[in-house]
Amino acid sequence: MINNDDFITRLLALDTDAALLFDPTADRFELYIIGGGALLLQDYISRSTLDIDTIGGNIAQLNSLMTRYDMNAQANAYIDLFPEDYRVRAIKLPLKTKKLITMYFLLRIW
């Protein structure tokens, strides 16, 4: 089970690991957190979540890292159902990252 503090720790660890594996001058990733994780980040729910659901156009390279932290991009299978402007609705997470992964969350996509 992933609580709010653990959630942030996992996101920062993913960013740190990615910075070690990818070229920060060439590789950039956008990670959009959806579902229960997005609700947890905003304290809309108090219960823990089992995993962190994400979408993103260029995160396939991150999949092996993401599984280490109970994150997945399986929701990308439904990306065509999201409105084309979902990125405009995203809220950037105010985390101090290595600038390799920009992290957002989505609460409402419709």
CA distance 57 to 91: 16
CA distance 62 to 85: 23
37-90 residue pLDDT tens? 888 888 888 888 888 999 986 788 898 899 999 999 998 888 888 888 888 889
Give the residue extent of every domain in the chain.
4-105
6-19 residue pLDDT tens? 889 999 999 999 99
32: phi then psi, degrees, rounded to nearest 5: -110, 120
Measured in whole angstroms, the distance separating CA 91 from the mean position of its chain's CA atoms is 11
